């Protein structure tokens, strides 16, 4: 969608004023800028359809080859003769080692497993800029060895410390200076967030969003495009189009104003009228979308206050035990390490394979690496329900072996169904697979992080429960409003990456 520049500026100013009034927001609230960006696909550079075509063209024209090879043939990698750990010759990047786990949570009290050890904090950063009053995000098309379709939309900068310190001997990371205070930019969000707790040992990445001045000149890289948040949201409804790192950063965006004092209830009819009359806003709107926006912005009383939620989370953590110890890979039980792969003796969970990558678009043109291959597809989903007029999300506090702090806030369902017997599936999986008391809001396949996980795409679902869907929930499950979830995202390591990935799509 494209409008004349003058019309865009005028319409943005009007929509900004109307939203400030309806949402009772302070002037110049960055949340309103993000909200307008999420509502529109007006883009003078690329329509959403053109972005899709651009990604398809890159997949056809940019060489990116991934070939599975034995672990023993990996260049620059070797099994340590004493520990058996799979390590890089430089000592950087990451290693595959062993982990011993003891816990009081779940049916299995202890086990050992291979795990990725990557102690350095990576950087996931997005540059934003207002153009004709609309906030745009600078996204890159990035090919990863584990991606099903090579190129997916990624943050402006997505780099491990080893990458941006150039331990691979390749080219420097473009735009890195905007996130290291070398270029003037306003920081809108900056937090360390956790990665996959069942695969990484206490891994975190810095998720950061910056805004440059409206008149700032940024030289466009070959595989970079400006796009609105609304375009990204629509692209997330396509299978495997926006990568997990981008979804993680986007989930941190709060489209609603911060308030010191509670505000009066938001009037849904006024909000709908405000959006319906703006030519910038993608149509049609629906009632659930309005209710979700109110859940994200409203000060109306949710089922639990933030102080109550913090007490419940503290109690659940206190009642849980998780003891972990890094061990040598050659001490891991029930797994077989061979020159070809590292795999579970019953072909469950995952394996570690080797790949050789040839690329014309990355900092180095060729490299080898180990990568995790999941044995069965997973399912990740949130149940929603309206409680006292406000949409709530059913969050589980989930223990994973690599967690930094015992329990992470996870989606209602997060599991690999093939790892369970049919009668032992976790709560709510049956409703996710065959809804009886709920309606599907969205259902897409979304990739895991393609730099470490090979062809791993899990089913991502959001369901809205009806009035018969029980509010009472099992232990360690809690109903939380969207505004409260966004408040938890302002702090390190509360919501796990699967929960953030789902929230990004809303």
Domains defined for the chain, CATH in brackets? 1-506 (3.90.79.10)
pLDDT band at 410 (very low <50, low <70, confident <90, very high): very high
Prediction pTM value:
0.94
CA distance 448 to 454: 8
pLDDT band at 424 (very low <50, low <70, confident <90, very high): confident
CA distances from 5 to 44, 45, 147, 257 (A): 8, 12, 37, 27
For the stretch 133-186, pLDDT in tens is: 999 999 999 999 999 999 999 999 999 886 767 665 567 889 999 998 777 899
* Residue 345 buriedness (CB in 10 A; 0-12 / 13-18 / 19+): exposed
- For the chain, the 3-state helix, strand and coil shares in percent, each to the nearest 5, are 25, 30, 40
Task: Give the containing element (helix H, strand E) for 274.
Answer: helix 268-276
Contacts of residue 344, Cβ cutoff 8 Å, sequence gap at least 6: 334, 335, 336, 350, 351, 375
Digit-coded pLDDT (tens) for 10-59? 999 999 999 999 998 876 777 899 999 999 999 999 999 999 999 999 99
**Rounded Cα distance, 318 and 316, in Å:** 5
Question: Are 363 and 170 spatial neighbours (Cβ–Cβ below 8 Å)?
Answer: yes
Report the chain's mean pLDDT, rounded to a whole number.
93
């Amino acid at each position: 969608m494209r409008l004349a520049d003058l019309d865009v500026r005028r319409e943005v100013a009007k929509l900004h004023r109307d939203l400030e009034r309806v949402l009772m927001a302070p002037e110049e609230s960055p949340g309103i800028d993000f909200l307008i960006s999420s509502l529109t696909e007006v883009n003078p550079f690329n329509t959403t359809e053109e972005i899709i075509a651009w990604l398809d063209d890159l997949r056809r024209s940019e060489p990116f080859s991934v070939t599975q090879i034995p672990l023993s043939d990996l260049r620059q990698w070797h099994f340590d003769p004493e520990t058996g750990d799979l390590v890089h010759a430089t000592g950087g990047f990451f290693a595959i080692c062993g982990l011993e786990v003891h816990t009081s949570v779940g049916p299995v009290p202890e086990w050992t497993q291979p795990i990725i050890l990557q102690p350095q904090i990576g950087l996931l950063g997005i540059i934003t800029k207002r153009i004709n009053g609309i906030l745009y995000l600078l996204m890159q098309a990035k090919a990863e060895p584990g991606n099903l379709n090579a190129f997916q939309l990624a943050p402006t900068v997505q780099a491990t410390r080893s990458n941006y310190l150039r331990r691979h001997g390749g080219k420097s990371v473009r735009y890195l200076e905007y996130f290291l205070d070398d270029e003037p930019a306003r920081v809108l969000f900056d937090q360390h967030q956790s990665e996959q707790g069942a695969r990484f040992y206490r891994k975190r990445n810095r998720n950061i969003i910056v805004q440059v001045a409206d008149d700032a000149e940024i030289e466009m890289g070959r595989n970079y495009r400006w796009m609105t948040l609304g375009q990204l949201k629509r692209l997330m409804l396509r299978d495997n189009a926006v990568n997990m790192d981008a979804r993680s950063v986007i989930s941190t965006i709060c489209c609603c104003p911060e308030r010191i004092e509670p505000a009066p209830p938001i009037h849904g009819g006024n909000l709908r009228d405000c959006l319906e009359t703006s030519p910038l806003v993608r149509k049609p709107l629906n009632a659930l979308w309005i209710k979700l926006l109110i859940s994200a912005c409203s000060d109306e009383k949710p089922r639990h206050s933030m102080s109550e939620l913090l007490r419940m989370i503290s109690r659940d953590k206190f009642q849980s035990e998780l003891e972990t110890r890094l061990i040598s890979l050659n001490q891991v039980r029930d797994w077989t390490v061979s020159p070809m792969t590292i795999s579970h003796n019953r072909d469950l969970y995952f394996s570690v394979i080797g790949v050789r990558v040839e690329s014309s678009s990355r900092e180095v043109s060729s490299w080898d690496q180990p990568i995790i291959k999941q044995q069965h597809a997973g399912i990740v989903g949130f149940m929603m329900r309206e409680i006292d007029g406000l949409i709530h999300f059913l969050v589980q506090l989930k223990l994973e072996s690599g967690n930094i702090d015992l329990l992470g806030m996870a989606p209602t369902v997060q599991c690999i169904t093939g790892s369970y017997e049919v009668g032992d599936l976790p709560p709510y999986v049956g409703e996710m697979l065959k809804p009886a008391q709920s309606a599907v809001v969205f259902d897409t396949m979304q990739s895991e992080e393609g730099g470490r996980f090979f062809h791993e795409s899990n089913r991502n679902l959001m369901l809205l429960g009806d009035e018969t869907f029980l509010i009472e929930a099992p232990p360690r499950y809690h109903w939380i409003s969207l505004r409260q979830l966004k408040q938890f995202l302002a702090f390190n390591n509360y919501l796990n990456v699967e929960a953030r990935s789902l929230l990004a799509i809303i």
